[in-house]
Copies of this chain bind each other. A is one copy, B any other.
Amino acid sequence: MATLSDVARRAGVSPATASRVINGSSKPVTDELRERVLAAVAELQYVPNAHAQLLARSHRSAVGVIVHDVSDPYFAEITRGLQRVATDQGRLLMICNSYRDPDRELEYVELLRGHQVAALILAGSGYHDEAFTRQLNEKLAAYEATGGRVAVIGRHEHSGDAVMPDNRTGGYLAGRELCGLGHRAIGVVAGPRILTTTTDRLAGLRQALTEQDRKLPERRIRYAEFDRDGGAEATARLLDADPELTAIVALNDSMAIGALATLRARGMAVPQQISVLGFDDMPIARDVTPALTTVRLPLVDMGVRAMSLVLGVEAPTPRVEVLPAELVRRDTAGPVPRSTRATAGSAPRARRGDSRS
C-alpha cells in the first residue's frame, strides 16, 4: 500500500504539505504543489490509512450501534432512523448484531469503545438479569466517564438518555381491543420471559383484562423465541392445550406471522374463528393475508430520536423520551364467534385499509 510519504516523495514535497492538500486543510498551499500532490495521489491510487488517521486526529466521529439483529425488520426500521441522522451529520455507523446474546453485547461494548466511537446506542429489549445489568452498566459508566455518549432504545437498564416505546400501553391497547370485541379466552404468544419487552407488553395486556374483570392465567401464555418460528410453535402449543381460544395476542409481528401460519395449517379461519393481534407494525404486516391488526410503534422515529439525543448537546439530567404506541386495525381481529360468545359482541365493522384508534 502506498503511504503518505510515498506520495510526498513522488510529488517532491514534504508529508506535511501532502497531508494538507489531501485533507483540504485551511493552511494555504500554492496551486503548483497542490497539482503535483494530486497527481501523485492519482498515480499511486493512494488511500489514507484510516487507522493512522484516527490515531493522529484526536477527535472521534463514528457512532457504535448494538442491536439484536439488523435483518429483523424491527431493528431494520430503527436502524434506518439512526442512519438517517448519522448520515446527515457525516457520521459513520458501526453496527453490531448481538443476536440476543448478553455476553456478546458486553463484548461489543468493549469492541466499540476500542474503536473510539464518539457515542454508543443500544437498541432492543433489556434483560431481567441482575448480574448482567450491573456489568453492562459498569461498562457503560466507564465509557461515559471518558467522554462517551450513550443512549438506549427500549431498555431500562441504563440510567442515562433513553428512547422508550410505550410497550405497556401498547399491550393495554391490544387487550382493550380484544375485550371490546367480546373475547374472553385469550392466549398469548410471548417472547422470552427474560426480556423486559415481553414483560412490559404482558403487563399492559394484563391490566386491560383485569379492568374488564377478565384474567390472563399463566397457562394461556407460551414463551418462545421472538421470531416467526417461535410464534408458530407457541401457537401450536397454545391451541393444543386450550382449543377454546378465540383470540391470540402475539407479542411481536414476526410471531404473529408464525401464528397465522399455524392457524392456516390447522384450517382455522382468521378472524372468523379466531382473532390474531400483532405488535410493532413492521412493514410486512399490511401485506400478509388477512392483513395484520397490530400495535404500531414509531420505529424509524425511535432511531431518529436516539441518534439526535446522542449527537446533540449533553443534558445535565437524563432524558427519557417515551414514544406512543397506537392500535392499527386491519383484518385479523374480529368479534368473538357467535357460538362461543358470552355477551353480545360489538357490531361488525368495515375492514380493508387501516383504521387507527
Contact = CB atoms under 8 A, between A and B. Distances in A.
A260 B291 CA distance: 12
Nearest to A45: B142
A73 B228 CA distance: 14
A49 interface: yes
Contact of A113 (B47, B138, B258, B289): B47
Given A73-B71, A110-B47, A283 B116 contact: no
Nearest to A73: B71
Interface string A279-290: 000011011111
A343 interface: no
Interface stretch (A13-21, A50-58, A243-251): A50-58
A79 B69 CA distance: 12
Contacts of A51: 50-52, 54-55, 115-116
A216 interface: no
Given A71-B71, A73-B71, A228-B283, A50 B116 contact: yes
Interface string A71-83: 1010011011001
A95 interface: yes
A264 interface: yes
21 contacts: A1-B116, A1-B146, A2-B146, A45-B139, A45-B142, A47-B114, A48-B114, A49-B114, A50-B111, A50-B115, A70-B76, A71-B73, A71-B77, A95-B95, A228-B287, A260-B287, A260-B289, A264-B289, A284-B284, A288-B288, A289-B289
